[in-house]
Structure 1
Amino acid sequence: MTRDEEFQELRPLLFSIAYRILGSVAEAEDAVQETWLRYEASATVPDSPKAFLSSVVTHVSINVLRSARVRREEYVGPWLPEPLLTDPYDDPQRSAELADSVSMAALLLLERLSPLERAVFVLREVFGFGFPEVASAVERSEAACRQLAVRARRHMNEGRPRFEADRRERRELAGRFLDAFREGDVGALAEMLAADVQMVSDSGGKAPQWGKGVAGAANVLRLLTAMSGPLAAVGVTVEPHGMNGQPGAIFRDPDGRILNTWTIDVLDGRVQAVRTVINPDKLAHLGPVADAWAVSRAANAHRHGTPGRAE
């Protein structure tokens, strides 16, 4: 097998590691490309390409994360990870860990860890790497990595939501929730919202801010019902779609361009959180992006009695 073939075979794993460390599709893809350049330029042939490449992409991702954190501190409004439609890496023996770790909730918990804790947790707890490989990847001793793993696991367990319903039940409830939203069915929406439900929107200051930090069933219900009719009236469609291993949706403008995404957390038969990504920079990898400002203007015009189609 050639070096290029080895790399292409491992690319899904490398991207999946980088995405969990970085929470960004674009940055993860850049980290994978940098890993290839280093592999291509390396004069030595590693005994284990998987261990070598995983180590390199982890090291690159840690460096990127350290610089990205400065930008995230200056980010306008709430920061959410870039939505991921499908995880390219599949391992049936670790399917539960992989699915849980790519959810928006888990990625936001990972944001609270230091870059080293985050990398150790991803390699050890998510992908099942041995401590010798983890130590090589983060350039620390095995003993230090074990301590980092204990701290990371404790922080993650303290804050991690427990999605007790099985995937089919969560998907079905999310489907009913989206149907009720499209139809403006206030009663059905109210029945499905948890008392402490939250709705958070990430616009990055580059799109209208929908649902910035809205909490509580009454407030979220008010926002959802205010949005539903005007968006439908201007031709916005809601397409159910798995997002970050969770139920979710893609909103499209009348021309089919992506307006925003939703991920929906479900627990105990209720919607616990709705996370909206509307920042166009975070949607570009999904396809052509809508002009959210134009859609918002059209929706507001309809709301105030001067209906019009989104531009």
Structure 2
Amino acid sequence: MNRTEEFQELRPLLFSIAYRILGSVSEAEDAVQETWLRWDASRTEPASAKAFLSAVVTRISIDVLRSARVRREEYVGPWLPEPLLTDTTGTYEDPARSAELADSLSMAALVLLERLSPLERAVFVLREVFGFGFPEVASAVGRSEAACRQLAVRARRHMDEGRPRFEADRGERAELAARFFDAVHEGDVDALRELLAADVQVVGDGGGRAPQAAKGVFGAERVARHLASVLPVLAGIGVTYETHEVNSQPGAVFRDRDGKVLGAWALDILEGRIQTVRAVSNPDKLRHVGPVADPWAVVREVGRARRERRLPED
């Protein structure tokens, strides 16, 4: 097997590592591409291509994350990862391990990883998610094995404090999600109320580039009424949605009348109820899904339709 073939075989793993460290599809793709350039230019023949390439993509991702954290501190509103569609052809994740790695890919887990330092995050991803040995982890992050063990302990402690738990049965999750989206589509407050946890929340990431509820929406009654008011109005101006697996959880992608991507939702489901709806509408985080819509143009269209009495008032 030549270098190109080896790299292509390992590409899903490399992307998986980079995406979990960075929470960004575009930055992870760039990290993988830079890894290939370094691999192609290298004259050494490592004993293990997997260990070598994993170490390279990890170091690149740590450097990118350090600069990205400064930008995220200045981010407008809640920060969510770039949504990854894990049920589409050409998904970056390794299909053979998708179920095994699902929880670590969820938006809830990636948001928790944001609490860790870049080194803690990298060590946690390599050790706890992908099962690398401490010698490999130490080589990848440029620290001693003892230091990496300490980093791993700290990272596990932080993650365990808020580790997400999800409905284990994929069939039950899918069935509940289908009922949820049907209720949202119909604007059925009563049906939604039955599907939502008492402390449910909607968290939106518009990044200042799209409309969003400033601090989110909380509680079953408020969330039910909020969701029931959104989609019927958008449907009235041609917005459609298609259900998808988003970050290995039930979700959907929303498109304007021209088919351009308007947003993506991911659902956290536990004990037969929707716990959290995470909605990404920042166009910069949706470009990898397809051509993006102008969310403010959609808002203006809703306003025109209401003035012309083509849509109901809230």
Instruction: Return the TM-score normalized by structure 1.
Output: 0.94
CA separation in 1, counterparts of 2:98 and 2:127? 14
Match of 1:26 in 2: 26
Q: Structure 1 residues 95, 250: closer, same or farther in 2, change over 3 A?
A: closer
- 1:256 counterpart (248, 256, 259): 259
262 and 252 in structure 1: CA distance in 2 versus 1, 3 angstrom threshold:
same
User: Pick from 85, 89, 92: which aligns with 1:88?
Assistant: 92
Point out the more displaced range, 38-47 or 204-213.
Answer: 204-213
Q: Secondary structure at the match of 1:209?
A: coil
Distance 2:77 2:103 in 1: 26
Whether 2:9 is the aligned partner of 1:6: answer no
Superposed structure 1 runs of 4+ greater than 6 Å apart: none
Q: Which amino acid aligns with 2:2?
A: T
The answer for the alignment partner of 2:129 in structure 1 is 126
State the partner residue of 1:66.
66
Q: What is the alpha-carbon distance in structure 1 between the residues aligned to residue 216 and residue 25 of structure 2?
A: 24
Q: Which whole-Å CA distance do the structure 2 matches of 1:29 and 1:189 have between them? A: 37
Give the corresponding residue for 1:107: 110
Gaps of 5+ in 2: none
Distance in 1 between residues matched to 2:254 and 2:50, nearest whole Å: 38
CA contact (8 A) 1:230 1:303 kept: no
Q: Please give the TM-score of this superposition, normalised by the length of structure 2.
A: 0.94
Provide the C-alpha distance between the structure 1 equivalents of 2:68 and 2:224, rounded to a whole number of angstroms.
34
Secondary structure in structure 1 of the residue aligned to 2:310 = coil
Count of residues in Structure 1 that have an aligned counterpart in Structure 2: 307
Superposed displacement of residue 45, structure 1: 1.0
Q: Percent identity?
A: 73
3-state DSSP class of the match of 2:101?
helix
1:140-179 aligned at under 5 Å gives the runs 140-179=143-182
- Secondary structure at the aligned position of 1:263 is classed as strand
How far apart, CA to CA, are the structure 2 residues paired with 1:207 and 1:278? Answer: 6
Kept after mapping to 1: 8 A contact 2:62/2:118: yes
Task: Give me the whole-angstrom Cα distance separating, in 1, the residues matched to 2:308 and 2:272.
Answer: 37
Which one-letter code corresponds to 1:90 in the other structure?
D
Residue aligned with 2:172, SS: helix
CA distance in 2, matches of 1:278, 1:232: 17
- Change in 2 beyond 3 A, CA 1:254/1:95: closer
Deviation of 1:96 after TM superposition, in Å, equals 4.7
Where do residues 277-288 of structure 1 align in structure 2 (5 Å cutoff)?
Answer: 277-288=280-291
The equivalent of 1:246 in structure 2 is 249
The amino acid across from 2:92 in the alignment is P
Secondary structure in structure 2 of the residue aligned to 1:251? strand
- The offset of 1:274, in angstroms, is 0.4
Structure 2 counterpart of 1:291: 294
* Residue 268 (structure 1) shift: 1.0
Query: What is the one-letter code of the residue matched to 2:20?
Result: R
Aligned residue identity for 2:211: P
